[in-house]
Amino acid sequence: MSSRRNFIEKLTISAVGLPLLAHPTNIFATSEAPYQGPMLKVALMGLGSYAGRVAEAMQDCKRAKITGLISGTPSKITEWSEKYNVPKKSCYNYEDFDKIKNNPDIDAVYVITPNGLHKDQSIRVAKAGKHVICEKPMGINAEEGQAMVDACKAANVKLLIGYRMHFEPKTVAVIKMRKDGEFGKTKFFQGQSGFNIGDPTQWRLDKELAGGGAMMDIGIYSINGARYMLGEEPVWVTAQETKTDPEKFKEGVDETIQFQMGFPSGAVANCLSTYNMSNLDRFFMTGTDGFVEMQPSTGYGPIEGRTHKGPLTQPHVTHQTLQMDGVAALIFDGKQPIVPVDGEEGVKDMKIIDAIFEAVKTGGKVEIKI
Ligand code: NAD
Protein backbone atom coordinates (compact mmCIF):
# COMPACT_ATOMS: atom_id res chain seq x y z
CA MET A 1 0.00 0.00 0.00
CA SER A 2 2.68 2.44 1.02
CA SER A 3 4.82 1.69 -2.03
CA ARG A 4 1.76 2.29 -4.21
CA ARG A 5 1.22 5.60 -2.43
CA ASN A 6 4.87 6.54 -3.04
CA PHE A 7 4.46 5.64 -6.69
CA ILE A 8 1.36 7.79 -7.05
CA GLU A 9 3.02 10.65 -5.19
CA LYS A 10 6.02 10.48 -7.53
CA LEU A 11 3.77 10.31 -10.55
CA THR A 12 1.91 13.41 -9.41
CA ILE A 13 5.09 15.35 -8.78
CA SER A 14 6.58 14.47 -12.15
CA ALA A 15 3.32 15.03 -14.02
CA VAL A 16 3.02 18.51 -12.52
CA GLY A 17 6.74 19.24 -12.35
CA LEU A 18 7.77 18.60 -15.92
CA PRO A 19 5.61 21.19 -17.70
CA LEU A 20 6.42 23.73 -14.99
CA LEU A 21 10.16 23.32 -15.46
CA ALA A 22 9.83 23.52 -19.22
CA HIS A 23 7.88 26.79 -19.04
CA PRO A 24 10.10 29.82 -19.73
CA THR A 25 8.42 32.03 -17.17
CA ASN A 26 8.49 29.42 -14.42
CA ILE A 27 9.89 31.04 -11.28
CA PHE A 28 11.82 27.88 -10.37
CA ALA A 29 13.58 27.76 -13.71
CA THR A 30 14.56 31.44 -13.79
CA SER A 31 15.15 32.18 -10.11
CA GLU A 32 18.86 31.38 -10.15
CA ALA A 33 20.82 34.60 -10.79
CA PRO A 34 23.93 34.27 -12.95
CA TYR A 35 27.04 33.70 -10.84
CA GLN A 36 29.04 36.89 -10.43
CA GLY A 37 31.73 35.83 -7.96
CA PRO A 38 35.35 34.82 -8.53
CA MET A 39 36.28 32.00 -10.90
CA LEU A 40 38.82 29.38 -9.80
CA LYS A 41 41.65 29.62 -12.33
CA VAL A 42 42.92 26.12 -12.98
CA ALA A 43 45.93 24.86 -14.92
CA LEU A 44 45.70 21.26 -16.15
CA MET A 45 48.88 19.19 -15.88
CA GLY A 46 49.15 16.08 -18.08
CA LEU A 47 47.00 16.42 -21.18
CA GLY A 48 45.96 12.77 -21.49
CA SER A 49 42.63 11.04 -21.68
CA TYR A 50 41.24 11.92 -18.26
CA ALA A 51 42.39 15.55 -18.55
CA GLY A 52 40.39 15.67 -21.78
CA ARG A 53 37.28 14.58 -19.91
CA VAL A 54 37.91 17.13 -17.15
CA ALA A 55 38.49 19.91 -19.71
CA GLU A 56 35.20 19.19 -21.49
CA ALA A 57 33.31 18.99 -18.19
CA MET A 58 34.80 22.30 -17.05
CA GLN A 59 33.17 24.06 -20.01
CA ASP A 60 29.92 23.81 -17.99
CA CYS A 61 31.40 24.94 -14.66
CA LYS A 62 29.99 28.07 -13.06
CA ARG A 63 32.92 28.75 -10.73
CA ALA A 64 36.02 27.18 -12.30
CA LYS A 65 37.76 27.63 -15.64
CA ILE A 66 40.88 26.45 -17.44
CA THR A 67 43.51 29.18 -17.47
CA GLY A 68 46.76 27.23 -17.81
CA LEU A 69 48.26 24.10 -19.38
CA ILE A 70 51.29 21.98 -18.45
CA SER A 71 52.48 19.30 -20.86
CA GLY A 72 55.67 17.75 -22.21
CA THR A 73 54.24 17.63 -25.73
CA PRO A 74 54.35 20.97 -27.61
CA SER A 75 51.75 19.86 -30.18
CA LYS A 76 49.23 19.20 -27.38
CA ILE A 77 49.89 22.66 -25.96
CA THR A 78 49.17 24.19 -29.38
CA GLU A 79 45.98 22.17 -29.81
CA TRP A 80 44.60 22.60 -26.28
CA SER A 81 45.53 26.29 -25.97
CA GLU A 82 43.51 27.01 -29.11
CA LYS A 83 40.62 24.79 -28.10
CA TYR A 84 40.31 26.17 -24.57
CA ASN A 85 41.50 29.68 -25.25
CA VAL A 86 44.54 29.56 -22.97
CA PRO A 87 47.21 32.20 -23.77
CA LYS A 88 50.74 30.95 -24.51
CA LYS A 89 52.06 32.86 -21.47
CA SER A 90 50.12 30.44 -19.25
CA CYS A 91 51.45 27.28 -20.93
CA TYR A 92 54.37 25.37 -19.41
CA ASN A 93 56.29 22.12 -19.69
CA TYR A 94 57.47 19.72 -16.96
CA GLU A 95 60.84 21.52 -16.68
CA ASP A 96 59.66 25.10 -16.32
CA PHE A 97 56.28 24.87 -14.60
CA ASP A 98 57.71 26.20 -11.30
CA LYS A 99 57.32 29.60 -13.01
CA ILE A 100 53.56 29.43 -12.34
CA LYS A 101 54.60 31.05 -9.07
CA ASN A 102 54.59 34.41 -10.86
CA ASN A 103 51.40 33.84 -12.82
CA PRO A 104 48.36 35.52 -11.22
CA ASP A 105 46.12 33.80 -13.78
CA ILE A 106 46.61 30.43 -12.08
CA ASP A 107 45.13 29.68 -8.63
CA ALA A 108 45.40 25.88 -8.74
CA VAL A 109 46.97 23.07 -10.74
CA TYR A 110 45.08 19.83 -11.45
CA VAL A 111 47.71 17.04 -11.59
CA ILE A 112 46.39 14.36 -14.01
CA THR A 113 49.57 12.44 -14.79
CA PRO A 114 50.62 8.82 -14.02
CA ASN A 115 50.37 8.00 -10.30
CA GLY A 116 54.12 7.65 -9.75
CA LEU A 117 54.65 11.30 -10.73
CA HIS A 118 51.93 12.82 -8.50
CA LYS A 119 54.01 13.35 -5.37
CA ASP A 120 56.91 15.29 -6.85
CA GLN A 121 54.71 17.30 -9.20
CA SER A 122 52.22 18.17 -6.45
CA ILE A 123 54.99 19.28 -4.12
CA ARG A 124 56.46 21.51 -6.85
CA VAL A 125 53.01 23.08 -7.38
CA ALA A 126 52.67 23.69 -3.63
CA LYS A 127 56.12 25.26 -3.49
CA ALA A 128 55.03 27.59 -6.29
CA GLY A 129 52.27 28.76 -3.94
CA LYS A 130 49.32 27.29 -5.88
CA HIS A 131 46.56 24.99 -4.65
CA VAL A 132 46.96 21.35 -5.67
CA ILE A 133 44.15 19.22 -7.07
CA CYS A 134 45.60 15.75 -7.61
CA GLU A 135 44.07 12.70 -9.22
CA LYS A 136 43.57 9.45 -7.33
CA PRO A 137 45.54 7.59 -6.19
CA MET A 138 47.29 10.63 -4.68
CA GLY A 139 50.65 8.82 -4.80
CA ILE A 140 51.92 5.27 -4.71
CA ASN A 141 51.91 4.75 -0.94
CA ALA A 142 50.89 6.44 2.31
CA GLU A 143 54.37 7.86 2.90
CA GLU A 144 54.17 9.77 -0.39
CA GLY A 145 50.65 10.92 0.44
CA GLN A 146 51.75 12.22 3.83
CA ALA A 147 54.70 14.06 2.26
CA MET A 148 52.22 15.80 -0.05
CA VAL A 149 49.94 16.74 2.85
CA ASP A 150 52.93 18.14 4.78
CA ALA A 151 54.26 20.11 1.80
CA CYS A 152 50.88 21.69 1.10
CA LYS A 153 50.46 22.60 4.75
CA ALA A 154 53.92 24.18 4.84
CA ALA A 155 53.12 26.17 1.70
CA ASN A 156 49.70 27.14 3.05
CA VAL A 157 47.87 25.82 0.00
CA LYS A 158 45.03 23.32 -0.27
CA LEU A 159 45.54 19.73 -1.36
CA LEU A 160 42.41 18.17 -2.85
CA ILE A 161 42.13 14.69 -4.35
CA GLY A 162 40.01 13.95 -7.45
CA TYR A 163 37.30 12.01 -5.61
CA ARG A 164 34.51 12.93 -8.03
CA MET A 165 32.00 10.50 -6.43
CA HIS A 166 31.88 12.72 -3.32
CA PHE A 167 29.92 15.23 -5.43
CA GLU A 168 27.75 12.75 -7.37
CA PRO A 169 24.04 13.26 -6.51
CA LYS A 170 22.96 9.60 -6.02
CA THR A 171 26.08 8.82 -3.99
CA VAL A 172 25.54 11.92 -1.86
CA ALA A 173 21.88 10.93 -1.34
CA VAL A 174 22.89 7.46 -0.11
CA ILE A 175 25.50 8.91 2.25
CA LYS A 176 22.84 11.28 3.63
CA MET A 177 20.46 8.33 4.13
CA ARG A 178 23.16 6.46 6.01
CA LYS A 179 23.91 9.50 8.16
CA ASP A 180 20.19 9.86 8.89
CA GLY A 181 20.12 6.24 10.07
CA GLU A 182 17.82 5.05 7.29
CA PHE A 183 19.76 1.80 6.88
CA GLY A 184 19.86 1.25 10.64
CA LYS A 185 23.15 -0.17 11.87
CA THR A 186 25.26 -0.78 8.77
CA LYS A 187 26.60 -4.34 8.70
CA PHE A 188 28.05 -5.31 5.33
CA PHE A 189 29.50 -3.68 2.21
CA GLN A 190 30.36 -5.40 -1.01
CA GLY A 191 32.40 -3.58 -3.66
CA GLN A 192 33.35 -4.87 -7.08
CA SER A 193 35.61 -2.67 -9.16
CA GLY A 194 37.30 -3.73 -12.34
CA PHE A 195 37.63 -3.82 -16.10
CA ASN A 196 39.69 -5.58 -18.75
CA ILE A 197 42.83 -3.56 -19.35
CA GLY A 198 44.13 -3.45 -22.93
CA ASP A 199 47.54 -2.40 -24.25
CA PRO A 200 50.22 -4.22 -22.21
CA THR A 201 52.76 -1.40 -22.79
CA GLN A 202 50.73 1.38 -21.10
CA TRP A 203 51.95 3.12 -17.93
CA ARG A 204 49.12 1.56 -15.88
CA LEU A 205 51.00 -1.76 -16.11
CA ASP A 206 54.38 -0.24 -15.23
CA LYS A 207 55.15 -0.68 -11.53
CA GLU A 208 57.19 2.50 -11.29
CA LEU A 209 54.64 4.79 -12.93
CA ALA A 210 51.49 3.11 -11.60
CA GLY A 211 52.65 2.02 -8.14
CA GLY A 212 50.83 -1.29 -8.60
CA GLY A 213 48.07 -2.51 -10.88
CA ALA A 214 44.28 -2.64 -10.63
CA MET A 215 44.21 -1.77 -6.92
CA MET A 216 45.76 1.70 -7.42
CA ASP A 217 43.59 2.47 -10.40
CA ILE A 218 40.16 0.92 -9.85
CA GLY A 219 40.23 -1.10 -6.60
CA ILE A 220 40.63 2.22 -4.78
CA TYR A 221 36.96 2.93 -5.64
CA SER A 222 35.82 -0.04 -3.55
CA ILE A 223 38.12 1.06 -0.70
CA ASN A 224 36.90 4.64 -0.74
CA GLY A 225 33.32 3.45 -1.30
CA ALA A 226 33.38 1.07 1.67
CA ARG A 227 34.48 4.00 3.83
CA TYR A 228 31.87 6.49 2.67
CA MET A 229 29.05 3.96 2.49
CA LEU A 230 29.66 2.47 5.94
CA GLY A 231 30.85 5.74 7.50
CA GLU A 232 33.70 4.10 9.40
CA GLU A 233 37.43 3.50 9.02
CA PRO A 234 38.65 -0.10 8.78
CA VAL A 235 40.81 -1.57 11.54
CA TRP A 236 42.05 -4.65 9.69
CA VAL A 237 42.35 -6.13 6.21
CA THR A 238 42.96 -9.55 4.72
CA ALA A 239 43.67 -10.03 1.01
CA GLN A 240 44.34 -12.68 -1.61
CA GLU A 241 45.83 -12.19 -5.06
CA THR A 242 45.10 -14.16 -8.22
CA LYS A 243 47.42 -13.77 -11.21
CA THR A 244 46.54 -15.60 -14.43
CA ASP A 245 48.82 -13.63 -16.78
CA PRO A 246 52.24 -12.96 -15.20
CA GLU A 247 53.59 -11.80 -18.55
CA LYS A 248 51.13 -8.88 -18.71
CA PHE A 249 50.89 -8.31 -14.95
CA LYS A 250 54.52 -8.32 -13.87
CA GLU A 251 55.95 -8.42 -10.33
CA GLY A 252 54.31 -5.68 -8.25
CA VAL A 253 51.48 -5.11 -10.76
CA ASP A 254 48.32 -6.72 -9.38
CA GLU A 255 45.82 -8.27 -11.75
CA THR A 256 43.08 -9.38 -9.32
CA ILE A 257 42.91 -8.96 -5.54
CA GLN A 258 40.04 -9.95 -3.29
CA PHE A 259 40.14 -8.18 0.04
CA GLN A 260 38.16 -8.01 3.23
CA MET A 261 38.01 -5.18 5.75
CA GLY A 262 36.78 -5.12 9.33
CA PHE A 263 35.35 -2.01 11.00
CA PRO A 264 35.10 -1.01 14.68
CA SER A 265 31.31 -1.51 14.79
CA GLY A 266 31.71 -5.09 13.63
CA ALA A 267 30.69 -4.25 10.04
CA VAL A 268 32.65 -6.07 7.35
CA ALA A 269 33.44 -5.40 3.69
CA ASN A 270 34.21 -7.90 0.97
CA CYS A 271 35.70 -6.44 -2.22
CA LEU A 272 37.20 -7.36 -5.56
CA SER A 273 39.67 -5.32 -7.60
CA THR A 274 40.64 -6.49 -11.07
CA TYR A 275 42.17 -5.61 -14.43
CA ASN A 276 40.99 -8.86 -15.97
CA MET A 277 37.17 -9.01 -15.79
CA SER A 278 34.46 -6.86 -17.29
CA ASN A 279 31.19 -5.40 -16.00
CA LEU A 280 32.45 -4.97 -12.45
CA ASP A 281 31.22 -1.66 -11.08
CA ARG A 282 28.87 -2.51 -8.24
CA PHE A 283 28.30 -1.55 -4.61
CA PHE A 284 25.93 -3.24 -2.18
CA MET A 285 25.42 -2.35 1.45
CA THR A 286 23.01 -3.74 4.00
CA GLY A 287 22.09 -2.62 7.46
CA THR A 288 19.60 -3.66 10.12
CA ASP A 289 16.83 -1.53 8.54
CA GLY A 290 17.56 -1.40 4.83
CA PHE A 291 19.89 -1.85 1.90
CA VAL A 292 21.34 -0.06 -1.12
CA GLU A 293 22.54 -1.49 -4.39
CA MET A 294 24.33 0.61 -7.02
CA GLN A 295 25.36 -0.57 -10.45
CA PRO A 296 27.11 1.18 -12.05
CA SER A 297 28.42 2.64 -8.83
CA THR A 298 31.50 4.71 -9.74
CA GLY A 299 31.71 4.92 -13.54
CA TYR A 300 31.21 8.23 -15.30
CA GLY A 301 27.47 7.73 -15.07
CA PRO A 302 24.63 7.82 -15.02
CA ILE A 303 24.94 5.95 -11.73
CA GLU A 304 22.00 3.63 -11.17
CA GLY A 305 20.72 2.19 -7.94
CA ARG A 306 17.95 1.40 -5.53
CA THR A 307 17.42 1.16 -1.83
CA HIS A 308 14.79 -0.62 0.24
CA LYS A 309 12.70 2.53 -0.32
CA GLY A 310 12.84 2.41 -4.13
CA PRO A 311 15.01 3.59 -7.00
CA LEU A 312 17.54 6.40 -6.66
CA THR A 313 16.12 9.17 -8.85
CA GLN A 314 18.58 12.05 -8.43
CA PRO A 315 19.53 13.56 -11.82
CA HIS A 316 22.78 12.76 -13.58
CA VAL A 317 25.14 15.71 -13.91
CA THR A 318 28.63 15.29 -15.38
CA HIS A 319 30.68 14.33 -12.34
CA GLN A 320 33.71 16.46 -13.13
CA THR A 321 31.56 19.58 -13.62
CA LEU A 322 30.08 19.15 -10.14
CA GLN A 323 33.49 18.26 -8.73
CA MET A 324 35.27 21.35 -10.07
CA ASP A 325 32.47 23.72 -8.99
CA GLY A 326 32.62 21.93 -5.63
CA VAL A 327 36.37 22.45 -5.45
CA ALA A 328 35.85 26.18 -6.15
CA ALA A 329 33.22 26.33 -3.36
CA LEU A 330 35.67 24.64 -1.04
CA ILE A 331 38.55 26.97 -1.88
CA PHE A 332 36.54 30.21 -1.99
CA ASP A 333 33.87 29.59 0.66
CA GLY A 334 35.36 26.80 2.78
CA LYS A 335 32.28 24.74 1.88
CA GLN A 336 33.12 21.07 2.50
CA PRO A 337 31.53 18.24 0.51
CA ILE A 338 29.59 15.56 2.43
CA VAL A 339 32.76 13.44 2.58
CA PRO A 340 36.11 15.27 2.47
CA VAL A 341 38.27 15.34 -0.65
CA ASP A 342 41.36 16.65 1.14
CA GLY A 343 44.84 15.17 1.27
CA GLU A 344 44.15 13.47 4.61
CA GLU A 345 41.27 11.59 2.96
CA GLY A 346 43.68 10.47 0.25
CA VAL A 347 46.23 9.25 2.80
CA LYS A 348 43.58 7.05 4.43
CA ASP A 349 43.04 5.18 1.16
CA MET A 350 46.80 4.89 0.65
CA LYS A 351 47.22 3.38 4.14
CA ILE A 352 44.60 0.77 3.30
CA ILE A 353 46.27 -0.03 -0.03
CA ASP A 354 49.65 -0.42 1.77
CA ALA A 355 47.97 -2.83 4.22
CA ILE A 356 46.27 -4.80 1.41
CA PHE A 357 49.62 -5.29 -0.36
CA GLU A 358 51.16 -6.41 2.93
CA ALA A 359 48.28 -8.83 3.56
CA VAL A 360 48.75 -10.32 0.08
CA LYS A 361 52.45 -10.86 0.88
CA THR A 362 52.01 -12.29 4.35
CA GLY A 363 48.70 -14.07 3.87
CA GLY A 364 47.69 -12.78 7.30
CA LYS A 365 45.41 -10.24 8.89
CA VAL A 366 46.97 -6.77 8.85
CA GLU A 367 45.89 -4.18 11.39
CA ILE A 368 45.37 -0.62 10.20
CA LYS A 369 45.56 2.59 12.19
CA ILE A 370 43.88 5.44 10.36
P1 NAD B 1 46.75 8.99 -19.76
O2 NAD B 1 47.84 8.05 -20.07
O3 NAD B 1 45.63 9.11 -20.71
O4 NAD B 1 47.35 10.45 -19.53
C5 NAD B 1 48.52 10.68 -18.78
C6 NAD B 1 49.16 11.97 -19.24
O7 NAD B 1 50.38 12.14 -18.50
C8 NAD B 1 49.53 11.95 -20.72
O9 NAD B 1 49.18 13.16 -21.31
C10 NAD B 1 51.03 11.78 -20.72
O11 NAD B 1 51.66 12.39 -21.82
C12 NAD B 1 51.42 12.47 -19.42
N13 NAD B 1 52.71 12.06 -18.89
C14 NAD B 1 53.59 12.88 -18.33
N15 NAD B 1 54.71 12.21 -17.98
C16 NAD B 1 54.52 10.94 -18.34
C17 NAD B 1 55.33 9.78 -18.23
N18 NAD B 1 56.55 9.81 -17.68
N19 NAD B 1 54.82 8.62 -18.68
C20 NAD B 1 53.59 8.55 -19.20
N21 NAD B 1 52.78 9.66 -19.34
C22 NAD B 1 53.24 10.82 -18.90
O23 NAD B 1 46.22 8.60 -18.31
P24 NAD B 1 44.87 9.08 -17.64
O25 NAD B 1 43.85 8.03 -17.83
O26 NAD B 1 44.56 10.46 -18.07
O27 NAD B 1 45.27 9.04 -16.07
C28 NAD B 1 45.97 10.09 -15.46
C29 NAD B 1 45.64 10.13 -13.95
O30 NAD B 1 44.25 10.35 -13.80
C31 NAD B 1 45.94 8.84 -13.21
O32 NAD B 1 46.41 9.14 -11.92
C33 NAD B 1 44.60 8.15 -13.11
O34 NAD B 1 44.47 7.30 -11.98
C35 NAD B 1 43.67 9.33 -13.00
N36 NAD B 1 42.32 9.04 -13.52
C37 NAD B 1 41.27 9.33 -12.74
C38 NAD B 1 39.99 9.08 -13.18
C39 NAD B 1 38.80 9.46 -12.34
O40 NAD B 1 37.68 9.09 -12.70
N41 NAD B 1 38.98 10.19 -11.27
C42 NAD B 1 39.79 8.49 -14.43
C43 NAD B 1 40.90 8.21 -15.22
C44 NAD B 1 42.17 8.49 -14.75
CATH number (domain holding residue 198): 3.30.360.10
Active site residue 84: no
Q: Is residue 193 part of a domain?
A: yes
Q: Is the CB of 219 under 6 A from ligand 1?
A: no
> What is the domain extent for residue 174?
165-317+343-367
Q: How many domains does the structure of the chain reveal?
A: 1
Query: Which among 44, 50, 76 is the best mutation to test ligand 1's pocket, defined by most ligand atoms within 8 Å of the CB?
Result: 50
Beta strands in the chain (DSSP E): 40-45, 64-70, 91-92, 108-111, 131-134, 159-161, 186-194, 236-242, 256-262, 268-274, 280-287, 291-294, 305-307, 310-311, 366-367
pLDDT of 2 over the 70 cut: no
Give the residue with greater pLDDT, 50 vs 29: 50
Is position 221 within any domain?
yes
Give the nearest ligand 1 atom to 216 CA: 34
In a domain, 128, yes or no: no
d(CA 140, CA 4): 50
What would the mean pLDDT of 274-282 be, rounded to a whole number?
97
Tell me the C-alpha distance between 108 and 117, whole Å. Answer: 17
Domain for residue 151, yes or no?
Answer: no
- Cα of 203 vs centre of ligand 1, distance in Å, is 8
Residue 226 lies in a domain: yes
> Is the pLDDT confidence value at 336 over 90?
yes
pLDDT at 92: 98
Is 100 inside a domain boundary?
no
180 vs 9, higher pLDDT: 180
State in Å: Cα 112 to ligand 1 middle: 5
Cα separation values, 238 from 131, 190, 303, 359, Å = 36, 14, 29, 5
- pLDDT tens digit string along 93-110? 999 999 999 999 999 999
State the distance from the centre of ligand 1 to the C-alpha of 256, rounded, in angstroms.
21
Catalytic residue among 119, 136, 158, 170: 136
Note the pLDDT tens digit of each residue in 300-309: 999 999 999 9
pLDDT tens-digit series, residues 128-163: 999 999 999 999 999 999 999 999 999 999 999 999
Average pLDDT over residues 338-348: 98
pLDDT at residue 7, rounded to an integer: 36
Active site residue 92: no
Residue 305 lies in a domain: yes
Residue 39 within a domain = no
- Pair type for strands 131-134 and 256-262: unpaired
Interval 28-42 mean pLDDT = 79
